[in-house]
Structure 1
Amino acid sequence: MEEVKRDIVLDVEDVPKVGQWITLSIQHLFAMFGATVLVPFLVGLSPAVALVSSGLGTLSYLLITKGKIPAYLGSSFAFITPIIAAKALGGPEAAMIGCFAAGLIYGMVALIIQKVGLRWLMNLLPPVVVGPVIIVIGLSLAGTAVNMAMYDPQKKYSVTYIIIALITLAVTIICNIFFKGFLNLIPILMGIIVGYGCSAIAGIIDYSPIQKAKWFQMPDFMVPYVTYTPTFSWEVIAIMVPVAIVTLSEHIGHQMVLSKVVGRNFLEKPGLHRSILGDGAGIMIGSFIGGPPLTSYGENIGVLTMTKAYSVYIIGGAAVAAIIFGFNGKISAVISSIPTAVMGGISILLFGIIASSGLRMLVDNKVDFDKKRNLMIASVILVLGIGGAFVQLSETVSLSGMALSAIVGILLNQILPDREKISEDIFGK
């Protein structure tokens, strides 16, 4: 990967002036805010804890990568369905144990990459496998988005809800397509704000929790052996681990894009093993306090592209601001008061974008579907994943949906003949 010289405002190690520091850090916080609080909203976790875990995870990431990579970690959408499934099996506590296990997988992969390099991982997870799995992640959530947009809390069809959802969706699309500058980078937040305003006019918001909330309020942390006694479940592990393997591919893609934007090869220095370890540590820290798994955010890469201010101090400032927001009871109450119609409108677009990003991966990597092996692999992954297939391994352990489709896809790619070699370009050489 060739390093490119660019006109920059602040380089990675530069310390910004105080006013610039605060402004640019808040900008990064707003860019990730909407998506980061949406994930806990959908899976029934605390948005305040998600903000705190996002901030702590980002700070640990910056520490592990030696302050060399300006990346912000926010809530991962890939884990929405697994967290919901894990909660159904053993409650939120079981989901947190599963998330912690996903972080451990990141750590093990980082160790292997440090010892033997990256090629094995790219051979295990080529675009023909990862692309369809990402499509499954998006489309498996489609029903959730539509139901949120159409039905009120009593599960009755509501014209008011669907209109608010469509307005929210329209504003988000308009901001993303037609607005310029910073507003173009926060379409989710703009959609939520306008949708919330429409909900207020329609009279479907309960303001009493906001009025009762304190300005400083301890988030609802879930800490093992403090608020609950952790229990190990192979079934939860079987749900979480395959998704972690797939999101590693997403992480590598973000690192490659970030390297091009900043003009440095982060895969070589400080090394992909460090960035993966930093991401995994963030996941483990978040799960230890009750937050969702984390991932590097494309929105924040977009902010870096726009501002050309690559300072890790700005990223660290955004992380500190997220932690402060997490302890603000009023902000947490406002987030919790957002009607499902608003989040449904946002989710229609976001989940579709996840599925479309899987298609984009296939197109960008020129996956040839004239080749029978590629067609077979993608077809099986899509039907198993979206169809909800499962394999009952024992009374308590089963592989289902996304996890099963990912594993079958990996096996088919290894077994079927004429497997393509990985291009050297992907390793930055």
Structure 2
Amino acid sequence: MSQQERVMDVRDVPALHKWITLSLQHLFAMFGSTILVPFLTGLSPAVALVSSGLGTLAYLLITKGRIPAYLGSSFAFITPIIVATNVSGIEGAMIGSFFAGIVYGIVALMIKALGLNWIVKILPPIVVGPVIMVIGLGLASTAVDMATYDADGNYSITYLTVALITLGVTIIATIFFRGFMSIIPILFGIVTGYIVALTQGIVDTSGIKAEWNEITSASSIGEFFGAVFEMPEFVIPFVTYAPMEVFSLQLLWILVPVAFVTIAEHIGDQMVLSKVVGNNFLQQPGLHRSIAGDGVATIIASMLGGPPNTTYGENIGVLAITRVFSVFVVGGAAVIAIFFGFIGIVTEVISAIPSAVMGGVSILLFGIIASSGLRMMVDNEVDLGEKRNLIIASVILVIGIGGATIQLGDNLEITGMSLAALIGVILNQVLPGQDKGQGNGNMFQKKDELNKDGSAA
């Protein structure tokens, strides 16, 4: 890639007015997905925005300001967070997320010392692909329920209509829009669905009105700022709860295994990002740093009460279209996200989004997640004609989607996706022909498409 193709290079600092505009643009691309996860899991959208912003800044620092990546709420953790919350509340989910972040750190150290071969053997495409499919398909019923049932659990044709309109607009934006507009179809869908839901009277605007009345009735600068800014509902260990009172091994089994799946996804993202930017990020600043950055971002989120963070495909899409690779633009988006998290009326607007709207976009998003797992196997030319590959994929899918569990004593249970991933790894290790599960062997080898100097081949 020639330098002329870049509107801004990785370390370029834009002029202030461009900086704000480009950072807002980047944040909007991440916005829909980032707020969907807390919406589904019962976490605070304001905390999710703050933790994603802080996590992104930490990521940029750890990667020496060399990788332009915005980190948002991870979809892979939706079901595990819901399960963990049912077991030990939001506090328990945060403890599990904390240890998932620790796993990132351990893997980063091992990659630094040993390279990638060991993780290739543990997580080949035949294991990772079906597990990613489980993530999407396991959430299918959640999306459909949100799209068809009202707050009281009754079937609603109004909800279904709003959901279908939201879904339709999102699909149209994805297929027919061009340029940057094609990167924010989720935002288009949510905004359109929100407006339609308002006309149908299914949006509770009481919180928004209360915030607006408080702002407009302020009689001094101090009252105005007090009305605009609001402290998010942070969940902080040793401040709002005692970690040891809710800790259990079950929480680790629910959340920690997910980290290995998201690590595999992260590696794939880094390869694509390297290709788009024209710098080999796996070598400089190094994959170990980017994985460590993800881990620290997840730990930060767990210390505040936000969902685990990860790199996003939307981020890569924005970079590919705008050709703006500046980490300062990404950092600016992170700062704005933190700022939004402390504005009460923004939080109320997000919280008022009807479940029908989120259900509409979720039908597409969760299907895309499942399809991306299938695509991973197709791209890596995994042969499902091989009996061992067919067995591994089949067992993972049925155990994960079926919600199978293993009860070990009164306080330890391995469920759903975690169990499916664990059994998939074991089957891949014990069944003969491990090399067949690698497909064409390119899952972690696409860095070879880059020249030794880091430029695109």
Q: TM-score range by the shorter chain?
A: over 0.9
What secondary structure sits across from 1:84 in the alignment? helix
Residue 298 of structure 1: which of 297, 313, 319 is its match? 313
Superposed displacement of residue 212, structure 1: 2.0
Q: Are residue 11 (structure 1) and residue 9 (structure 2) matched?
A: yes
Q: How does 1:348-427 map to 2 (within 5 A)?
A: 348-420=363-435, 423=441, 426=445
Q: Are residue 93 (structure 1) and residue 106 (structure 2) matched?
A: no
Q: Are residue 29 (structure 1) and residue 27 (structure 2) matched?
A: yes
Residue 291 of structure 2: which of 255, 276, 279 is its match? 276
Q: Are residue 76 (structure 1) and residue 95 (structure 2) matched?
A: no
Structure 1 runs, 4 residues or longer, greater than 3 Å off: 421-425
Amino acid paired to 2:159: Y
Superposed displacement of residue 204, structure 1: 1.1
Superposed displacement of residue 376, structure 1: 0.8
Percent identity (aligned):
63
Amino acid paired to 1:99: S
Q: How does 1:130-145 map to 2 (within 5 A)?
A: 130-145=128-143
Superposed displacement of residue 5, structure 1: 3.8
Amino acid paired to 2:360: G
Amino acid paired to 1:40: P
Residue 54 of structure 2: which of 56, 72, 88 is its match? 56
Residue 175 of structure 1: which of 170, 173, 176 is its match? 173
Q: Are residue 428 (structure 1) and residue 447 (structure 2) matched?
A: yes
Amino acid paired to 2:84: A
Identify the residue that residue 157 of structure 1 maps to in structure 2: 155
Q: Deviations over 1:89-122 (max 9, x none)?
A: 0100000001101000000000111111111011
Residue 100 of structure 2: which of 89, 99, 102 is its match? 102
Q: Which stretches in structure 1 are left out of the alignment for 5+ residues?
A: none
Q: Are residue 226 (structure 1) and residue 248 (structure 2) matched?
A: no
2-side partners of 1:95 and 1:88: how far apart? 9
Q: Deviations over 1:300-351 (max 9, x none)?
A: 1100000111010000000000000101100000000011000000111111
Identify the residue that residue 242 of structure 1 maps to in structure 2: 257
What secondary structure sits across from 1:428 in the alignment? helix
Contact 2:174 2:185 in 1 (8 A): yes
Q: Deviations over 1:373-415 (max 9, x none)?
A: 1111101100111111111111110111100100000011111
Q: Deviations over 1:236-284 (max 9, x none)?
A: 1001111111110000000000000000110011000000000000000
Identify the residue that residue 117 of structure 2 maps to in structure 1: 119
Amino acid paired to 1:350: L
Superposed displacement of residue 205, structure 1: 1.2
Contact 1:391 1:399 in 2 (8 A): yes
What secondary structure sits across from 1:220 in the alignment? coil
Identify the residue that residue 146 of structure 1 maps to in structure 2: 144
2-side partners of 1:218 and 1:187: how far apart? 30
1-side partners of 2:205 and 2:410: how far apart? 45
Contact 1:43 1:83 in 2 (8 A): yes
TM-score when normalising by structure 2: 0.92
Q: How does 1:246-265 map to 2 (within 5 A)?
A: 246-265=261-280
1-side partners of 2:230 and 2:149: how far apart? 31
Q: Deviations over 1:276-302 (max 9, x none)?
A: 000000000011000000110111110
Identify the residue that residue 344 of structure 1 maps to in structure 2: 359
Please identify, of 387-396 and 159-168, the stretch whose mean Cα deviation from structure 2 is larger.
Answer: 387-396
Contact 2:56 2:297 in 1 (8 A): yes
Amino acid paired to 1:208: S
Amino acid paired to 2:344: G
Amino acid paired to 1:306: I
Q: Deviations over 1:71-103 (max 9, x none)?
A: 000000000000000000010000000110100
Q: How does 1:288-327 map to 2 (within 5 A)?
A: 288-327=303-342
2-side partners of 1:123 and 1:28: how far apart? 36
Superposed displacement of residue 427, structure 1: 6.3
1-side partners of 2:238 and 2:251: how far apart? 19
Identify the residue that residue 301 of structure 2 maps to in structure 1: 286
Contact 1:35 1:188 in 2 (8 A): yes
1-side partners of 2:289 and 2:137: how far apart? 32
TM-score when normalising by structure 1: 0.98
Contact 1:267 1:427 in 2 (8 A): no
Matched residue count: 426
2-side partners of 1:281 and 1:86: how far apart? 21
Contact 1:118 1:427 in 2 (8 A): no
Root-mean-square deviation (Å): 1.1
Superposed displacement of residue 139, structure 1: 0.5
